[in-house]
Amino acid sequence: IRDEQSGYNKNLFCIPKHYEEDLERVFIPHGLILDRTERLARDIIQDMGNHHIVALCVLKGGYKFFADLLDHIKALNQNGDKSVPITVDFVRIKSYC
C-alpha cells in the first residue's frame, strides 16, 4: 500500500454499528488480505520444497491469520504434486513483562 493511497470509503463495506463512528476509511479490504494470505501460502510451499514445515503461531493476536494461512497451505499440500509434512505449535508472549 502506497503512503499516498487514501483507502476506500467506509460506505462500500458492511461495518458493524459499534465501529461506524470510529472508522474514517478502510485501507485494506478483507478480500485483499485473503488473497495475499493465499499467495503467501503458495510462496511458502514453493520455497520450502520437500522440507518439513514447522509453523509457529504467536498467540493470541496472530491466531486468525495463522489459521487462514495454514488452511491455504494444507489445501495446496493436498492438491499439489507433493505432500510436505507440517508441524504446528503455539507460543504465548507477554508484551508488558
pLDDT in tens, 67-77: 999 999 999 98
**What DSSP designation does 29 have?**
-
Smallest CA-to-CA distance from 52 within 6, 18, 86 is with 86
Question: Using CA atoms, how far apart are residues 17 and 24, in angstroms rounded to an integer?
Answer: 13
Quick check: is 26 in a domain? yes
Range of the domain at 15: 8-92
Does residue 3 lie within any of the structural domains?
Answer: no
Residue 33 falls inside a structural domain:
yes
Number of domains in the chain: 1
Q: Note if the pTM is more than 0.85.
A: no
pLDDT higher than 70, residue 19? yes
Query: Is the pLDDT at 95 greater than 80, yes or no?
Result: no
pLDDT tops 80 at residue 23: yes
Residue 1 within any structural domain of the chain: no
- What mean pLDDT comes out for the span 23-45? 91
* Residue 32, domain member (yes or no): yes
Q: Indicate if the pLDDT at residue 97 is higher than 70.
A: no
Question: Is 12 within a domain?
Answer: yes
Nearest CA-CA partner of 44 in 73, 78, 85:
73
